[in-house]
Amino acid sequence: METLRSFLFEVCGVNAGWKMEDVMDEEIKVINNMVGSDDHVICALSGGVDSTVAATLVHRAIGDRLHCIFVDNGLLRYKERERVMETFERDLHLPVTCVDATEQFLSKLKGVVDPELKRKIIGKEFICVFDAFAKELENNLGKKPAFLVQGTLYPDVIESCPPPGTGRTHSHTIKSHHNVGGLPKDMKLKLIEPLKLLFKDEVRQLGRILTVPYSFLKRHPFPGPGLAVRVLGDVTEDNALDTLRQVDEIFIQSIKDAGIYDSIWQAFAVFLPVKSVGVQGDQRTHSHVIALRAVTSQDGMTADW
């Protein structure tokens, strides 16, 4: 670290003047320049750190012309919908509409096992829900929202490379994030992504400046496609989603009870496409296997067990 410091500040003469407060002010200016004085904006809220910080930032820029939507896609964790909506109302005071689209998503995912295809299907369905929400707002406001706010981070962009339509071939697509590579080409809403050049630790720092409650900022990352990518197979078979929700709830609560939740970057359960023999009580069983994972990280680009 000392070698890097000497190289940057003494050899290169770099000025250490970068501050997160400057990023916040700059992004607010960008938002105000992009959004007209009478334009309305939709924000896709998931209940995670990224979308919450993005919504808070945009709300600071344009106020009540921001309309947040929380979509229950049937792929959420145990009681996630109830818990998130309660926190939005109690702590953030953001205008949030909850939409239950469980059947819409699960019907499209039936029989799908490829995780990349799941992400693209989910991305498309989210946009369909947002378009319907925009039309409903148009009926109420007399003006259709033109923008969609997403909590896209820089790692999302990197992992979804090469960007569609760029013709680049030097980078591999690690996974198409539903909010990047999973977006349909004909979407009607223009994107506002104020966090797309930031890493997760920087987003948490920005959230602290915006006074987002610590209970939100410390939450482990949860994938936009939800449990669809934590069920390795068809999400509609073998009661996989309900089983996974129960295991995940026990796992996370155990970590919290042990006092190590905040020292772990991300902990989660994965429903595997295999069965194993075991013993329950005095009987032999043959049932599904769920893997438990816990990793540490700083910026979400690399991780360790």
Residue 254 labeled ligand binder:
no
CA-wise closest residue to 97 among 107, 88, 108: 88
Per the annotation, does 47 bind a ligand?
yes
48 assigned to a ligand binding site: yes
**Where does residue 76 rank: exposed (0-12), middle (13-18), buried (19+ CB within 10 A)?**
buried
From the list 215, 93, 84, 224, the residue with the least C-alpha distance to 152 is 224
Nearest to 151 by CA among 22, 44, 72: 44
Amino acid making up residue 152: T
Question: For residues 237 and 233, what is the distance between their CA atoms, to the nearest angstrom?
Answer: 8
Residue 60 has φ and ψ, to the nearest 5°, of -65, -30
What Cα–Cα distance (Å) separates residue 192 from each residue in 11, 28, 54, 92?
Answer: 38, 11, 9, 20
Flag whether 51 is marked binding: yes
Bridge partners (DSSP) listed for residue 96: 68
Ligand-binding annotation for 46, yes or no, is yes
CA distance 60 to 29: 11
List binding-site positions.
46-52
List binding-site positions for ATP.
46-52
